[in-house]
Amino acid sequence: MLSAIAVPDLPEVAPGDDLAALIAAAVRESCDPPGLTGEDVLVIAHKVVSKAEGMVRSLREVAPGPRAIKLAREHGKDPRHVQIVLDESRALVRAARGVLICVTRHGFVCANAGVDASNVPAADTVLTLPRDPDASARRIRRRLRELTGTSPAVLITDSFGRAWRHGQVDVTIGCAGLAPLEDWRGRDDTTGRPLKATWIAVADELAAAADLARTKDGMQPVILIRGAGRNVVDEDGPGAAALIRPAAEDLFR
Amino acid sequence: MLSAIAVPDLPEVAPGDDLAALIAAAVRESCDPPGLTGEDVLVIAHKVVSKAEGMVRSLREVAPGPRAIKLAREHGKDPRHVQIVLDESRALVRAARGVLICVTRHGFVCANAGVDASNVPAADTVLTLPRDPDASARRIRRRLRELTGTSPAVLITDSFGRAWRHGQVDVTIGCAGLAPLEDWRGRDDTTGRPLKATWIAVADELAAAADLARTKDGMQPVILIRGAGRNVVDEDGPGAAALIRPAAEDLFR
C-alpha cells in the first residue's frame, strides 16, 4: 500500500531557516507512526526550499531590458516580471496567448520558468526555483540524516502544465535518494512479450501523488509518502536532471 | 491521508466479462476495510477494460495500406501494426526515430495511438484503447452501483510519454464520478494574492498515484484509492474528455 500524508504544523519558512530541522521536528511530533525511516519519501514543494534559500526577487530592483519590455507589451505582463523570467531561462520555447513557455536554466520546460508571484512573503516580490534543486535535495537529505539517523528520499516539486492536456500536475525538479526512472526495458510481461510501458517516471508519479494529499492554500508544503520503499536508494543518485529529455531528442520544442 | 492499494486476486479478463462484478468481488473479499464506499476511487488500467470489451485485433487480419507500409519501412515497424495505429488515429503529430506520436480518435496525444502488443492474450494480436473510455467508466460505475449500492469514482488509465521529460506516467483516459480538474482560479493564496497553480489535473494525479501501488507485470490492473473523496462527485461529470486541450489552443502540435 502507498500512503501520502501532509506533514502538519510546519511554520512559515524564512531565508536561512534549517528546513530539514523543521521537517524532522514536525514529522517526529505529529506523524503516525512518528519519525522517519529510510524507506520514506519526503516530497517538498519547491516554494519552501526557495524561501529557505532566499530565492526571492523584488520587482522594484529589476530594470527590464528591451526584450522583456517587448514581450510584456505583447502578452500583457509586467516587464519586470518578464525580465526575471528571462533571467531564469536558457531559452524561450513558445510565447503565445499570454503564456511564456521557457527552458529554465536547469533544463526544465515550464511556464514562466517557474517564477511565481503567489504565496510569497511580500508584495512586489516573486519566488524563483532553487538554483540547483538536486543539490538542495541532497543537502536536505544529508541534514536529515545528521538529525535523525535515517535517510529518506527527498523530492522537490513544482506544478507544471503539459502539452496536449489541460491542467497542471506536480512533477519532480530535484531529488536525492530515489531512482527517478524505473526501467523495465528488456523485461517481459506475463505472456513473455516485451512490456510496453517500460520506463516509468516514478519521481513524477510520486510528486503527483503527494499533491493529492495537500490542500492548495500553500500551508502543506511537505508530504510524507510511505510504501514506495522499492524506489528509495542509499546513494543520492542522478537526481531530477535524469528526467530532462535533451533538446536534441525532443520532438516538441 | 491518501492511500492506494492494489486490488488482489483479479482473474484474467476475457471478452464479455463483467469487469465491475469481478472488481466488486475482489474488493469485498480482500481489501481492508472490505467493500467500496462512495468516497473511493477505483483506478483501472485500460488493458482489462479493452480486454473485457473485446478491443483485440489480430495482425493476421490486417491488410496494410500504402501509408502504413511507407511509415513501417521508415521506422522499422510491422506494417500491419502501423495500419492499426493509423486506424486508431485522427492525426499523426510526429513520426521520428521509430516513434509515432498520434492523436487518437478520442483526441488523446500519445505514442502509437495507445495500440499495445504487451500483455495481450494471444500472439500476433494487439489491444487498442476502449472505443469510448468515458462511456466505459460510466458503465462500470453504474454496474458497481447495481452490485454494491455504492458509487465510487471510476478512472480508466494508460501510460503515456510526455514532451520534454523522460519516462512515462499513467494518465486518465476515461472517468466517471470525478471532477477531473480542480479549479482554484480566482481563489487567493494565504497572503491574499492569486494562486499560481490554479487548475489541477486531479484525475491524472490519481492515475499517477495508482501506478505507484502496482507492480508492472500486468497482474494488478485495479487500484483502490482512498482519501480523495473531495474530488468524487455524484454525477458522472464531463469525463476525461475535459482533460483534452483542443488542437487550436495547443502550442505543441
Domain range for A21: 3-54+133-245
Asked if B4 reaches chain A (Cβ–Cβ under 8 Å), the answer is yes
Contact B242, B181 (CB under 8 A): yes
- Closest to A167 (Cβ–Cβ): which among B1, B164, B181? B181
Closest alpha carbon to A179 in A158, A196, A201, A198: A201
Q: Specify if A250 maps to a domain.
A: no
Q: Specify if B95 maps to a domain.
A: yes
Q: Specify if B32 maps to a domain.
A: yes
Interface touch A181/B190, C-beta < 8 Å: no
Q: Is the pLDDT of residue B193 over 80?
A: no
- Assigned C-alpha cell, A48: 519552501
* End-to-end CA, chain A: 38
The pLDDT of residue B42 is 98
Buried b (16+ CB within 10 A) or exposed e, A76-88: ebbbbbbbbbbeb
The pLDDT of residue A175 is 98
User: How far does B79 lie from chain A, in Å, by closest CA?
Assistant: 18
Interface touch B194/A118, C-beta < 8 Å: yes
Q: What residues of A are in contact with residue B227 (Cβ under 8 Å)?
A: 212-213
Q: Specify if B160 maps to a domain.
A: yes
Q: Is the pLDDT of residue A31 over 80?
A: no
Contact A135, A154 (CB under 8 A): no
Among A56-65, A87-96, A118-127, which is the least confidently predicted range?
A118-127
Considering the domain architecture, whether residues B167 and B241 belong to the same structural domain is answered as yes
User: Looking at chain B, which residue has its C-alpha nearest residue A196?
Assistant: B118
Closest alpha carbon to B233 in B139, B135, B133, B141: B141
User: How far does A197 lie from chain B, in Å, by closest CA?
Assistant: 6
Considering the domain architecture, whether residues B79 and B144 belong to the same structural domain is answered as no
Q: What is the mean pLDDT of residues B135-142?
A: 98
Domain boundary among A68, A92, A127: A127
The pLDDT of residue B35 is 84
The pLDDT of residue B39 is 95
Considering the domain architecture, whether residues B49 and B62 belong to the same structural domain is answered as no
Tell me, what CATH number does B77's domain have?
A: 3.90.1660.10
pLDDT tens digit sequence for B229-239: 999 999 999 99
Asked if B94 reaches chain A (Cβ–Cβ under 8 Å), the answer is yes
Confidence at A197, pLDDT banded by 50, 70, 90 = low
Asked if A245 reaches chain B (Cβ–Cβ under 8 Å), the answer is yes
- Assigned C-alpha cell, B215: 507492480
User: How far does B191 lie from chain A, in Å, by closest CA?
Assistant: 6
Considering the domain architecture, whether residues A224 and A241 belong to the same structural domain is answered as yes
Considering the domain architecture, whether residues A162 and A89 belong to the same structural domain is answered as no
Q: Is the pLDDT of residue A32 over 80?
A: no
The pLDDT of residue B37 is 92
In sequence order, what are the residues at sequence separation of 6 or more whose Cβ sits closer than 8 angstroms to the Cβ of residue A135?
A174
Interface touch A164/B109, C-beta < 8 Å: yes
Give A 136-165 residues with CB within 8 A of chain B. 159, 162-165
Considering the domain architecture, whether residues A181 and A80 belong to the same structural domain is answered as no
The pLDDT of residue B218 is 60
Q: Specify if B252 maps to a domain.
A: no
User: Looking at chain B, which residue has its C-alpha nearest residue A223?
Assistant: B1
Q: What is the mean pLDDT of residues B157-174?
A: 97
Task: Considering only CA atoms, give the Rg of chain B.
Answer: 19
Interface touch B218/A117, C-beta < 8 Å: no
Considering the domain architecture, whether residues B231 and B161 belong to the same structural domain is answered as yes
Closest alpha carbon to B85 in B126, B46, B52: B126
Test the B interface: residue of A1, A2, A75 with most B CBs within 10 Å: A2
Contact A134, A239 (CB under 8 A): yes
Considering the domain architecture, whether residues B102 and B212 belong to the same structural domain is answered as no
Confidence at A188, pLDDT banded by 50, 70, 90 = low
Interface touch B164/A109, C-beta < 8 Å: yes
Interface touch B184/A216, C-beta < 8 Å: yes
The pLDDT of residue A120 is 78
The pLDDT of residue B197 is 57
Considering the domain architecture, whether residues A236 and A139 belong to the same structural domain is answered as yes
Domain boundary among A103, A127, A151: A127
User: How far does B199 lie from chain A, in Å, by closest CA?
Assistant: 5
Domain count, chain B: 2
User: Looking at chain B, which residue has its C-alpha nearest residue A231?
Assistant: B212
- Closest to B2 (Cβ–Cβ): which among A205, A212, A251? A212
**pTM: predicted TM-score of the whole model, two decimal places:** 0.96
Confidence at B9, pLDDT banded by 50, 70, 90 = confident
Tell me, what CATH number does A211's domain have?
A: 3.30.1330.100
Among A78-87, B11-20, B112-121, B202-211, which is the least confidently predicted range?
B112-121
Q: What residues of B are in contact with residue A129 (Cβ under 8 Å)?
A: none
Closest alpha carbon to A161 in A247, A93, A215, A229: A93
Q: Specify if B250 maps to a domain.
A: no
Domain boundary among B127, B147, B168: B127
Asked if B84 reaches chain A (Cβ–Cβ under 8 Å), the answer is no
In sequence order, what are the residues at sequence separation of 6 or more whose Cβ sits closer than 8 angstroms to the Cβ of residue B141?
B20, B151, B152, B153, B154, B176, B177, B236
* End-to-end CA, chain B: 38
Q: What residues of A are in contact with residue B193 (Cβ under 8 Å)?
A: 117-120, 123
Q: Specify if B251 maps to a domain.
A: no
Give B 17-76 residues with CB within 8 A of chain A. none
**pLDDT > 90 in chain A, percent:** 80
Q: What residues of B are in contact with residue A216 (Cβ under 8 Å)?
A: 182, 184, 187, 195, 197, 200
Interface touch A1/B3, C-beta < 8 Å: yes
Considering the domain architecture, whether residues A137 and A177 belong to the same structural domain is answered as yes
User: How far does B118 lie from chain A, in Å, by closest CA?
Assistant: 5
Q: Is the pLDDT of residue B91 over 60?
A: yes
Considering the domain architecture, whether residues A8 and A49 belong to the same structural domain is answered as yes
Closest alpha carbon to B92 in B63, B71, B62, B64: B71
Q: Specify if B216 maps to a domain.
A: yes
Asked if B14 reaches chain A (Cβ–Cβ under 8 Å), the answer is no
Interface touch B191/A245, C-beta < 8 Å: no
Considering the domain architecture, whether residues B143 and B39 belong to the same structural domain is answered as yes
Place of cell 531559452: A91
